[in-house]
């Protein structure tokens, strides 16, 4: 009797997720602008006002730069593949004391969830009508931490803590009730990558399609609900596409008032790392350079910043191509590392989850906080604390055993 082991690889990875965000955020707004879609819907008149002011030569420059980004990204991916041409089959990692000890982290996070839910009690079920930046920010950060430790156990050969499953689900539901969709989408994407890579019973193409449809229907419904509107096909489409359209307003205002540099000193990119330093002891906020400080006129009327303006303002048109090349190279490095490292696998899944949405609509100060604090520093501190407790517990047990031996056999 022969046992056939099926080799497993990522079916949904950074290449696919980046391409989705690239089309969704960089081409959808242009299409809406030239076709006058969603005329009469909230905010569209303001968007068309900005879009129609863009000089034609600037739109051509935008198209050329944007089209060059895609081959630059995949070329970076391919160049790393030249260094590491062979993939390793994905498999669940062996359970150990630390992965089992994550159960206690789940218990702690449940208490934090109760505390945050109490703090945000006036914002729950309020959508945008009771928008509280602080309360929603806390709940979003908590969901990220739940995602990390839930994924840590999902890709291990062990039973997953029900506290982590229930806590993640409740946090996501509460966040949706507050009008927050993006971080919940990250949770869905993490689950999708897991179910198409590490899961013992992986999704097939039909499952992926069904899952995607259900998620987008849910996200559309939440968008309609927070606008207090009735459901319709056109309203559902507007709820989805308004996100990249309004994010692109920052690009429209930049193109209207600024020349596109070939190269630029990335002051905003560099100083955004200051956001990693807690304000408890001292604040580095006065030394942070925003993108609006680097150009003549730049507006984000609804808060989100397009990745196009963030990268071009920081690096310039030619510099942005090198940035995308390095991004593709590093993401393929993370994918390769995820094949042999449990922590690396979790980090890669969480990084992939921000690619199709947050990467394209948030500034570097938020992206760096996600990549280096929420996905790296904080989980490492928690895991080191767990390992330290386990080490102390082991020493204590050994000491008790030695004491028992001495008491039963004094000659030992």
Q: What is the mean pLDDT of the chain?
A: 90
pLDDT at 342: 97
Beta-bridge mates of residue 93: 156
pLDDT at 151: 98
- Residue in 287, 269, 288 with CA at minimum distance from that of residue 363: 269
- pTM listed for this prediction: 0.93
Average pLDDT rounded to a whole number, residues 346-372: 96
Model confidence pLDDT, tens digit, residues 3-27: 345 688 999 999 999 999 999 999 9
Model confidence pLDDT, tens digit, residues 221-239: 887 877 777 777 888 888 8
278 burial via Cβ count (<10 Å: 0-12, 13-18, 19+): exposed
Beta-bridge mates of residue 156: 93
The first and second tokens of residue 386, run together, are 């767990």
CA distances from 145 to 106, 113, 184, 346 (A): 10, 11, 12, 11
Task: Look up tokens 């029900």; give the residue.
Answer: 162
- Residue in 275, 247, 282 with CA at minimum distance from that of residue 371: 275
Model confidence pLDDT, tens digit, residues 382-406: 999 999 988 888 888 778 777 777 7
Q: In a 3-state reduction of DSSP, which class is residue 25?
A: helix
Among 78-82, 90-94, 332-336, 393-397, whose mean pLDDT is lowest? 393-397
Among 249-258, 299-308, 335-344, 402-411, whose mean pLDDT is lowest? 402-411
Beta-bridge mates of residue 157: none
Q: What percent of the chain has pLDDT over 90?
A: 66
pLDDT at 405: 74
Residue 162 pLDDT class (50, 70, 90 cuts): very high
- In the chain, the N- to C-terminal Cα span, in Å, equals 53
pLDDT at 132: 67
Number of neighbours of residue 399 by Cβ within 10 angstroms = 10
Rounded distance between C-alpha atoms, residue 28 and residue 300, angstroms: 18
Rounded distance between C-alpha atoms, residue 11 and residue 22, angstroms: 19
pLDDT at 40: 87
Largest interatomic CA distance in the chain: 94
């Amino acid at each position: 009797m022969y046992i056939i082991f099926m080799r497993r690889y990522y079916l949904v990875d950074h290449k696919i997720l980046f391409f989705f965000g690239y089309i969704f955020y960089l081409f959808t707004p242009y299409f809406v602008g030239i076709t006058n879609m969603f005329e009469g819907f909230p905010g569209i008149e303001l968007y068309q006002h900005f879009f129609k002011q863009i000089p034609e030569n600037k739109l051509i420059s935008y198209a050329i730069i944007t089209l060059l980004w895609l081959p630059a990204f995949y070329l970076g991916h391919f160049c790393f593949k030249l260094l590491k041409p062979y993939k390793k089959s994905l498999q669940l990692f062996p359970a150990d004391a630390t992965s089992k000890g994550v159960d206690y982290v789940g218990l702690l996070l449940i208490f934090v969830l109760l505390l945050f839910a109490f703090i945000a009690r006036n914002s729950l079920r309020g959508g945008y009508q009771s928008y509280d930046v602080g309360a929603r920010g806390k709940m979003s950060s908590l969901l990220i931490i739940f995602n990390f430790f839930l994924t840590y156990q999902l890709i291990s050969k062990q039973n997953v803590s029900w506290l982590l499953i229930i806590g993640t689900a409740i946090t996501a539901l509460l966040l949706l009730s507050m009008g927050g969709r993006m971080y919940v989408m990250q949770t869905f994407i993490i689950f999708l990558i897991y179910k198409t890579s590490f899961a013992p019973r992986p999704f097939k193409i039909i499952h992926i399609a069904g899952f995607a449809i259900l998620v987008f229907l849910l996200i559309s419904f939440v968008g309609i609900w927070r606008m207090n509107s009735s459901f319709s096909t056109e309203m559902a489409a507007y709820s989805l596409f308004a996100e990249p359209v309004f994010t692109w307003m920052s690009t429209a205002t930049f193109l209207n008032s600024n020349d596109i540099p070939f190269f630029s000193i990335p002051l905003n990119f560099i100083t955004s790392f200051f956001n990693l330093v807690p304000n408890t002891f001292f604040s580095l906020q006065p030394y942070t350079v925003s993108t609006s400080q680097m150009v003549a006129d730049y507006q984000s009327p609804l808060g989100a910043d397009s990745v196009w303006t963030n990268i071009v303002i920081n690096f310039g048109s030619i510099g942005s191509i090198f940035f995308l090349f390095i991004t593709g190279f590093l993401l393929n490095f993370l994918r390769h590392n995820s094949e042999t490292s449990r922590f690396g696998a979790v980090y890669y899944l969480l990084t992939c989850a921000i690619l199709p949405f947050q990467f394209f609509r948030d500034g570097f100060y938020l992206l760096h906080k996600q990549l280096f604090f929420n996905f790296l520093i904080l989980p490492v501190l928690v895991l080191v604390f767990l390992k330290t407790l386990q080490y102390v517990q082991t020493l204590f047990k050994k000491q008790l055993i030695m004491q028992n031996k001495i008491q039963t056999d004094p000659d030992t």
